[in-house]
Structure formats: C-alpha cells, structure tokens
C-alpha cells in the first residue's frame, strides 16, 4: 500500500530550516505526495471543465427547463452580456462668476475593459463629485456594502481607466481629476 504524506508531515516540512522540495522530503520518508485530490471549489471545477452538480435547494428554486443550464453556460452568457465601456459622461457645473447659469462639462475618460455594474456606479458618483474628495464611506453607501470592499472597486477602476485621473486625496478620499 502506498503511503502519502500526512498533514503533520507537511507542517514539519514547512517549519524545517532545511531548503528542500516537498517531493524530496517525501522521498526521504519513503512516502509519496497525493497528486489528484477531488475539489469542491466551483472555480476549480469551472477551470478544469469538471461536471458540476447543483444542490436540491438550487434545483427547487429553478424552473425545470432552467436546471439543464450548467454553470459554465451561465458564466459564458454573463460574459457575453457584459456592458460596453462608458466613454463620456456629462455633468452640469456652476461657474462662480455667473451665479444663475450652468455650463455642461464633459468628463472624457477611456477604459481598457468594460466596467461592471458596481464599478460603473462608483465611477458615476465620482464623476458627479468631480474634483472633490470623496470618502470611501460615501461610496460604500452608494453601493450599500461595507467600506472595506470599496477599495477593490477603486483598484479595479484604476486598472481599467487608461488615464491617471483617479488619485488619492490628502484628506483620505479619492478625487477624479478630469
């Protein structure tokens, strides 16, 4: 019978000061590394094109003809239905010299990839507050999510905006300089 490394032996290898590979460590112990381990992670199943079974709860909430759609098909449909990137947005701006008149100023930004719905909402809010410092808490209220999650959307926006117009504020917020 083939013996595989236990979790404790892997922990010993990790804490070892000796710089050897896990394969070499297993060979010294006369054991092998278990290569193929079944995963229940949906991402790994999609990447490896494995069959995905849905639970009875999910099946109960779907109509009979919808249960035939696999997760991979649903993901493909979602990717194909992604919105096109927003190139321009307009916003009225009041000039300080003329109190009653407003001038429409176009916010022209190009994106390398299409924005998700939430990224678009964050960008639209920043465009409304163009040139002003916007705190992460304000953006979190716009999306109705915890403040810590906003930083992910800011990072993604910075990656997708081709110009360097989204900067950190000195007061601890974000400014869209257009």
Instruction: Kindly indicate the confidence band of residue 108, based on its pLDDT and cuts at 50, 70 and 90.
Output: confident
Q: In this predicted structure, which of 25-29, 43-47, 57-61, 149-153 has the lowest mean pLDDT? A: 57-61
- The larger pLDDT score, comparing residue 37 to residue 166, is at 166
Q: Report the chain's mean pLDDT, rounded to a whole number.
A: 74
Domains of the chain, by residue range, sit at 1-37, 42-80, 88-176
Which CATH code is given to the segment(s) 88-176? 1.10.10.10
Q: Is the pLDDT of residue 163 over 60?
A: yes
pLDDT, one tens digit per residue, over 10-43 is 888 888 888 888 888 888 888 887 776 666 677 7
Please classify residue 142 by burial: count the beta carbons closer than 10 Å to its beta carbon, then call 0-12 exposed, 13-18 middle and 19+ buried: middle
CB neighbours of 105 closer than 8 A, spacing ≥ 6?
Answer: 90, 91, 92, 93, 130
Contact between 90 and 107 (Cβ < 8 Å)? yes
94 phi, psi to nearest 5 deg: -90, 125
Instruction: Kindly indicate the confidence band of residue 53, based on its pLDDT and cuts at 50, 70 and 90.
Output: low
- The larger pLDDT score, comparing residue 116 to residue 105, is at 116
- Give me the mean pLDDT over the 160-168 stretch: 90
């Amino acid at each position: 019978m083939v013996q595989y490394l236990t979790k404790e032996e892997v922990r010993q290898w990790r804490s070892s000061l000796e710089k050897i590979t896990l394969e070499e460590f297993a060979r010294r112990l006369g054991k092998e590394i278990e290569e193929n381990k079944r995963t229940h992670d949906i991402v790994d199943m999609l990447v490896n094109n494995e069959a995905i079974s849905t639970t009875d709860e999910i099946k109960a909430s779907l109509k009979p003809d919808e249960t035939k759609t696999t997760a991979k098909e649903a993901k493909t449909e979602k990717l194909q239905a992604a919105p096109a990137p927003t190139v321009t947005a307009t916003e009225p701006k009041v000039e300080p010299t003329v109190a009653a008149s407003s001038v429409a100023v176009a916010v022209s930004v190009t994106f390398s990839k299409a924005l998700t719905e939430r990224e678009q909402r964050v960008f639209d809010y920043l465009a409304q507050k163009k040139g002003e410092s916007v705190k992460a808490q304000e953006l979190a209220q716009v999306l109705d999510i915890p403040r810590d999650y906003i930083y992910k959307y800011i990072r993604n926006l910075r990656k997708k905006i081709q110009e360097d117009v989204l900067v950190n504020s000195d007061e601890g917020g974000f400014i869209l300089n257009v």
